[in-house]
Amino acid sequence: MKEVKCFICGSPFLTPTTGKFCSIECKKEHKKNVNREFHERNKEIVNKKRKEYYKENIHIYKERDKKRHKENILNREMQGESVRKRLIGLTEKEKKIAEIKKEEKNIKKINYIH
């Protein structure tokens, strides 16, 4: 075994092979650094590819957003907050109920004014 200095933190460690990192944490840190440098150098190419992927798979992002929105509403309701629901992501039945409630509210406003 030979003693080598860690590529990230510089601490000496023993390795039977050509190891560069003393721990898994240092290895993860190195991978983050390499990825960050790559994305800084190739920012335009990476962004272009992500935009193309988004355009081709927009339904994935919309479904994810609907799911997150529903989860946020449920969390807020669980905390006791009254939440006005959007019509996006609701079933047809839920949309009709929401429209009826909205109309009833408007009628109450009109009656209150007159």
Q: Is residue 109 part of a domain?
A: yes
Q: Residue 88 belongs to what domain range?
A: 57-113
Q: Would you say residue 36 lies in a domain?
A: no
Residue 69 belongs to some domain of the structure: yes
Q: Which pLDDT does position 45 carry in this prediction?
A: 96
Task: Report the domain count for the chain.
Answer: 1
pLDDT confidence of residue 64: 93
49 within domain boundaries = no
Q: Contact, 20 vs 5, CB < 8 A?
A: no
48 in any annotated domain: no
Task: Answer whether residue 33 is part of any domain.
Answer: no
Q: Is residue 95 part of a domain?
A: yes
Neighbours of 4 (CB within 10 A): 16
Phi, psi for residue 13 in degrees, rounded to 5? -150, 160
Does the pLDDT value for residue 79 go beyond 80? yes
Question: Looking at the domain assignment, is residue 43 inside a domain?
Answer: no
Please say if the pLDDT value at position 90 is more than 80.
no
For the ranges 77-81, 86-90, 98-102, 106-110, the lowest mean pLDDT is seen at 86-90
